[in-house]
Chains A and B, each alone.
Chain A
């Protein structure tokens, strides 16, 4: 069969250019992170890594992910179920609303939360009077992270669940299955991959958010610094190696994310060819 661009010359040229660009724009930055982190040797790397502030930043970053990922997972599933399984007025609007975090600059996301929960904000006065601290403490960081990551799971699920339709679930209802059983036995197996993909994306963003978090965190060392903030601060401290050490952790996480995603896609592709 003849296909466009199949001539060896064209093929070699295109592959060559594509590889060169990938190496230049994607691989090189990645290599640079680890090269910078290990510039002064592995001992210094470990030393930087076991720094108390870095450890606490790792802990806080994990905490944020541990809270935001499940919350957004639950929300995303319910929202997707709602907009793909029912017709109701305002459905379109709801779907557009969920896109807002994609359109909002992270700095603005931080700003709106500060305006709401800050001491001079609408809720802030009440919170302050009751001695409840949200901004400049970890709950504020969790909240803005929830905001910036809330679309991912729903956005992955909605197109898929729309395409699949609800016939299988309706059949299950006529067989007398309860809602939870239907979801677990019928829906979940169909959306498992998309769900996992959504979770991976949510997690990557939750761990790496910088702009929004930097507005509400207050940069208290060892207390409200997440890893990306720690990267920035070390970078500003003339500690380039330290900054890239923390950055290398995040890069490692990014690589794990990519690997997990690739594995998922590979398995999905294999299943498709098998059936």
Chain B
């Protein structure tokens, strides 16, 4: 978008990206400029004036502060001209005169050529950790914590940093950002919470997260503005947003339910709303004064907690491109205590079965369960809450519905197979809202997840499909070993995983394993070390996590769902089920058949192409299961081996008993 601009810096020509701050450009040229109010992670302020340089634009010379001067035209810059030196010296005198004992001031004044002052000013602060009014603390409070606890008070020479009404503000969350960025030590930290072993270590890494949130979030995921809803736009762009029970991945009406719509028309408050006060991401978003159109609270204005990505995408999965309906669905699911993902996925399944003619209104108690019918969706929810008829069946989930319909409806084998293919559940849990057809990693992430196909344990779709960080088969298989363990690890410590990957360091792409975001993984290790004193590395983390993960797998086995058979995805999650689905992306599938499967699709009927593609993809799935089981130390039925249990030191009698029971029954 921005072009390059030729700028002459001290008679040297350089090319600079448009809208770069001049100071950044000067620093890139290794030119030392004295600064005080400037901080690399905070919005430039231009108040200390130390970074002033002289520029010449259209023949006219003037002084500008380089920190907040955007380069937009071909200027000449002079960083060392007489006026610059003269003004710098005067500023240095002011600062050194007023704060003679503050180390940073001495250093900055030295850069301005001032070591002792000629005129003693009226106000002198002898304190060596005096506040020098740089404003770092105030900006950190706003930009890191999104709070407004600190501000300047007093005009002119009376300017000082204060909390509201000059009192200690109880709303201060004690995040210590202000003290952290203070260059003079004027703000002191008193650590009296939880007795961490090394609070400074935690702080050093926490502030890195804060700074990244403040500087990068707006360009990356906009978590502070729209929360996880930003993913709607991304998934739609990459053909991964579930539409009509995962049939398709994109739709022309998505703009009606995307994050921009939410930001412009729905989300209110505009306040940081995190799980805990002090979270610098604060991604929770709400809609206030939302007037309900149905149900027991019809006509009332309520606050909707959300919608988040999964709820909005659940909407598109049911064919709803109406944010009002999605918000109402969101509110009533929350109010009735119904999970929005399971509800949306189950209803999407019901809708497809309805449209395919497998069920009709005699089954649905008169509800027209077509895609896009928000009235039916909401009425179904209300009936579910009242425990009425068909709605109760839907409430029991997809697996139950499939069994019930197989038993009670007079279905053909084809119809039964079709229901099996499109009923998006694994281990009895409904699949969360991503189209995994083109992502082998995500298919197995869902299929192998011990707790069922949610996105907590293996959310690989983004790194696989959007960032393209798992290009090879080996990468994908390895990711299925590493990431479920890494993501389980968050649960062990009760830590939020959003600040691991919902903002990434600017230079993450340059790291050895960008999909792991090593810099952020390291942050977590340091949090543990700072809290407990125990050093942690990747191997240690994986071992800790594997213990729990294997234990979970055996629990799963004990409950009858921990074998290979339980790890398969319905085919809708692996590839196209219907002719229509195939035809909607035929270029992609034809290409794959031709280039990878080695089957020439030219002139072949779609049914045949579908069958060949299915064969290939199921084979891939099976093959990958074998590889990953082996990597995890499980047998080819997906059960942990005794050696693995011993290795992990979880060969406790009760656990061994479960394994022996399995081996006995074969």
A joins B in a complex: no
